[in-house]
């Protein structure tokens, strides 16, 4: 039996409508991967490409790990699917218990989804329903943040704050407001780790609360580190202040850890790294090392318990997905968590973070670079836009890097790096040297 990588391409690439892609531009000169192993992709023409983005922020344990592949194959041959509506199988129960043990405090109850977008929309629905079952049905307003990315569901783009993701899709959810983002080049350019300026921006939540009244606000959702918009690091004290205000006004705090979860900052989760306890955590990506789509929402005891009232025969939450807790996804996730633990990858990321920081900040000397920011094993390199051509400089850099053997990600004129956690120092050197050379001669 042939695998997909062995099939020859069709004469036309038009049938596949690609996501978040300039389709006509890509299909005129496609960049296609045929295989992957550990830190590298191999293209259809046989070139190796160093993965500087862990696929799409998700392949934290490196590519094509035998343990994960074998777990998926064995599960597919044993139990390919079982419903989790009024039925079940052992996988999600075992995995949920393991995830609960990884999360701090009383984040003990796991609702499985299939993606980050689904995790976010699930968390928002749980927040709204939680207030309703407690008798606070007036709490229907959701608060997001400018430049936030929370997936592509209607809930996610409503609380999200990236204009192109929102403008084509009508009025979105009603009753949504947004905090300002924390990015400020004047005060925070070239910060190493968390910037010192910006904690006060959390106090904008007070203004929103005063405007709408706290009795109408259900939840605030933020990415602890805003990834997709270009790696925005939270100022010192900012997340702590948001937690304090949410507690003060009875607002649920949701952390979107789709990117920061599973070791990206050198801890299992951002809630561990920052020492800030949210009420709900949305995860995906690294939960299965991206081998099988999966996401999850983890809730604190008090939220789960609020639903477990009334008749034992009644469904407590009318929400879920056909593939919630899919057997193959559970098998992939358990094998992935084994690798994280056995190889100490979160601790490894933490140990490499200082070397990573100094390496990426060496790019600050380039004339086209107007900011470098980092935390854990993630970095954003912001470029001076070409006059009258926003985003072109970064896009052209991405294409040249790919041609020379490095995969990076760009958004606007910002380059994002988030490599697999298995990388070595020489991989960091290779990434920074190649990216620096491209920028210098671009």
pLDDT tens, residue by residue, 16-64: 999 999 999 999 999 999 999 999 999 999 999 999 999 999 999 999 9
The confidence score (pLDDT) of residue 442 equals: 75
**What's the DSSP call for residue 362?**
G
Residues of the chain with pLDDT under 50: 1-2
The pTM of the full predicted model, rounded to 2 decimals, is: 0.97
Identify the CATH class of 69-342. Answer: alpha beta
The confidence score (pLDDT) of residue 91 equals: 98
Number of DSSP helices (H) and strands (E) in the chain, helices first: 16, 15
Write out pLDDT tens, residues 296-326. Answer: 999 999 999 999 999 999 999 999 999 999 9
The confidence score (pLDDT) of residue 1 equals: 41
The confidence score (pLDDT) of residue 8 equals: 79
The confidence score (pLDDT) of residue 238 equals: 98
Find the Cα–Cα–Cα–Cα dihedral 265, 268, 271, 277, rounded to 10°.
Answer: -170
Q: Judging by DSSP bridges, how do beta strands 217-222 and 141-145 pair with one another?
A: parallel
Q: Is 4-61+344-441 a domain of CATH 3.40.30.10?
A: no
Q: Which among 299, 252, 277 has a CA at the least distance from the CA of 110?
A: 299
The confidence score (pLDDT) of residue 6 equals: 62
The confidence score (pLDDT) of residue 3 equals: 60
Instruction: Supply φ then ψ for residue 301, to 5 degrees.
Output: -55, -45
The confidence score (pLDDT) of residue 93 equals: 98
Q: CATH 3.40.640.10: which residues of the chain?
A: 69-342
Q: CATH 3.90.1150.10: which residues of the chain?
A: 4-61+344-441
């Amino acid at each position: 039996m042939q695998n997909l990588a062995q099939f020859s391409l069709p004469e036309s690439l038009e049938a596949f409508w690609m996501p978040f892609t300039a389709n006509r531009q890509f299909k005129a000169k496609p960049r296609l991967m045929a295989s992957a192993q550990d830190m590298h992709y191999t293209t259809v023409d046989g070139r190796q490409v160093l993965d500087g983005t862990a696929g799409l922020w998700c392949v934290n344990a490196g590519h094509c790990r035998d343990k994960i592949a074998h777990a998926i194959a064995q599960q597919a041959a044993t139990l390919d699917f079982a419903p989790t509506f009024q039925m079940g199988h052992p996988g999600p129960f075992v995995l949920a218990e393991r995830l609960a043990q990884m999360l701090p405090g009383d984040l003990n109850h796991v609702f499985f989804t299939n993606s980050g977008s689904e995790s976010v929309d699930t968390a928002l629905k749980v927040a709204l329903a939680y207030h309703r079952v407690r008798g606070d049905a007036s709490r229907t307003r959701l608060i997001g943040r400018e430049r936030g990315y929370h997936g592509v569901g209607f809930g996610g783009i409503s609380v999200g704050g990236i204009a192109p993701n929102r403008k084509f899709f009508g009025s979105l959810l009603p009753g949504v407001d947004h905090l300002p983002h924390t990015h400020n080049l004047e005060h925070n350019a070239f910060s190493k780790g968390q910037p010192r300026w910006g904690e006060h921006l959390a106090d904008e939540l007070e203004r929103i609360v005063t405007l709408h009244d706290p009795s109408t606000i259900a939840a605030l959702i933020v990415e602890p580190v805003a990834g997709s918009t270009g790696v925005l690091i939270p100022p010192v004290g900012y997340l702590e202040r948001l937690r304090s205000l949410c507690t003060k006004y009875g607002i649920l705090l949701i952390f979107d850890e789709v990117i920061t979860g599973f070791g990206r900052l050198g801890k299992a989760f951002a809630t561990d790294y920052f020492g800030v306890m949210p009420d709900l955590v949305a995860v995906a990506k690294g939960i299965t090392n991206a081998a099988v789509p999966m996401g999850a929402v983890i809730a604190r005891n008090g939220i789960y318990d609020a639903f477990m009232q009334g008749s034992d025969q009644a469904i407590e939450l009318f929400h879920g997905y056909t593939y919630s807790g899919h057997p193959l996804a559970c098998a992939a996730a358990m094998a992935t968590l084994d690798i994280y633990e056995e190889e100490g990858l979160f601790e490894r990321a933490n140990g490499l973070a200082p070397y990573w920081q100094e390496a990426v900040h060496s790019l600050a000397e380039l004339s086209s670079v107007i900011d470098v920011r980092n935390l854990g094993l993630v970095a954003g390199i912001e470029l001076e836009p070409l006059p009258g051509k926003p985003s072109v400089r970064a896009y052209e850099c991405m294409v040249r890097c790919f041609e020379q053997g490095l995969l990076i990600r760009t958004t606007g004129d910002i380059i994002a790096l988030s490599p697999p956690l298995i990388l070595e120092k020489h991989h960091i050197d290779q990434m920074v040297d190649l990216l620096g050379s491209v920028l210098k001669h671009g």
